[in-house]
Amino acid sequence: MPFSLSTTTTTPRSPNPNFRSRKSRMSTPPVLSLALPSDTGRVLSIQSHTVQGYVGNKSAVFPLQLLGYDVDPINSVQFSNHTGYPTFKGQVLNGEQLWELIEGLEANDLLFYTHLLTGYIGSVSFLNTILEVINKLRSVNPNLTYVCDPVMGDEGKLYVPEELVHVYREKVVPLASMLTPNQFEAEKLTGLRINSEEDGREACAILHAAGPSKVVITSITIGGLLLLIGSHQKEKGQKPEQFKILIDKIPAYFTGTGDLMTALLLGWSNKYPESLDKAAELAVSTLQALLRRTLDDYKRAGYDPTSSSLEIRLIQSQDDIRNPNVELKAERYR
């Protein structure tokens, strides 16, 4: 049809139902993890981060997501790799920068979390800011569950400044809902030397008196045996339900296992809030399956797994994380 230039009257078009004005296009959509919360929860995880390997948030976020949690990570450090390598590069977040992130979330009404998870913290100033974060989050959600892994050292060696021990003991532990120290850390927090199972149980009771209703000493070596001791005080002043799990020793050293263990304990204890022993069984069984796979894969690659610390095979173990086969059972103390 030939095109002609003529003066015509144009009929206005109906609005396109798919078109929105610039103003409406720029409006903020709802955060679905808030508008349609999961049955599990929304976790703020403040831990370290490495570009390569699995420690800190790299060990914790993925398993929690597999278990159905929405997880928002804040990286307290960002390193190229973990510090066990000959060298590492990266940046460290300070307390002021952490608070700036919290302020940004608050300004957009994004501070509602069901859980806070913290791991390695290297300075008193950053730990003091964590205390402010806890109070801020609980002003938004008074029912916030705070899961604290008080990473301070292991096997008799402290690898954070001594001042941090005091801050953890006096200020952080009273605010925690669940605490997951190793043997050395439990000793530092309680002042009690743990030489027996009874000592471990007493250490849990001391920590209950200070604040948290759930305590899991994730690894204790007694008489050549490796075990976990857990304790759940369901009401203040009530005798806690306590249990142990004997753990098979695996002849190698792995990085990121403590971070992973605490994340798994958070994940499963929230699904079984009245059965900490069941949650611990699931967490320990997951970890053991993952460590065996890691060990086997290093051997398959022709590497001697006893010669240095090993990077865990987290992605390859996702089926074990989702559906662990419980091989290690808890034994309740009477």
pLDDT digits (tens, 9 = 90+) for 189-198: 999 999 999 9
CA–CA distance, 103 with 110 (Å, rounded to integer) = 10
Looking at residue 7, its pLDDT comes to: 36
pTM of the complete model: 0.90
What average pLDDT does this structure show over 19-25? 40
Which of 70, 149, 199, 259 is an active site residue? 259
Looking at residue 32, its pLDDT comes to: 87
What average pLDDT does this structure show over 202-230? 97
User: Could you tell me the CA-to-CA distances from 217 to 9, 103, 253 in Å, in that order?
Assistant: 82, 34, 19
> How sure is the predictor about 39, in pLDDT bands with cuts at 50, 70 and 90?
confident
Q: Residue 46: CA atoms inside 13 Å, Cβ hemisphere, count? A: 27
> How sure is the predictor about 118, in pLDDT bands with cuts at 50, 70 and 90?
very high
- Provide the H-helix boundaries in the chain: 22-25, 32-35, 57-66, 95-107, 124-140, 162-167, 183-190, 197-210, 257-271, 276-300, 318-322
Task: Tell me, yes or no, if 199 is annotated catalytic.
Answer: no
178 in Cβ contact with 212 (< 8 Å):
yes
Give backbone dihedrals phi and psi of 311, rounded to 5 degrees, phi first.
-80, 130
CA–CA distance, 290 with 116 (Å, rounded to integer) = 25
What average pLDDT does this structure show over 304-316? 92
pLDDT exceeds cutoff 50 at 22: no
pLDDT exceeds cutoff 50 at 23: no
Q: Which of the two residues, 188 and 34, has the higher pLDDT score?
A: 188
The CA angle 287-288-293, to the nearest 5 degrees, is: 100
What average pLDDT does this structure show over 3-25? 39
CA–CA distance, 221 with 196 (Å, rounded to integer) = 9
Q: Note the pLDDT tens digit of each residue in 44-76.
A: 999 999 999 999 999 999 999 999 999 999 999
What average pLDDT does this structure show over 32-39? 84
Looking at residue 321, its pLDDT comes to: 98
Looking at residue 122, its pLDDT comes to: 87
> How sure is the predictor about 129, in pLDDT bands with cuts at 50, 70 and 90?
very high
Q: Which of the two residues, 91 and 263, has the higher pLDDT score?
A: 263
What average pLDDT does this structure show over 221-245? 96
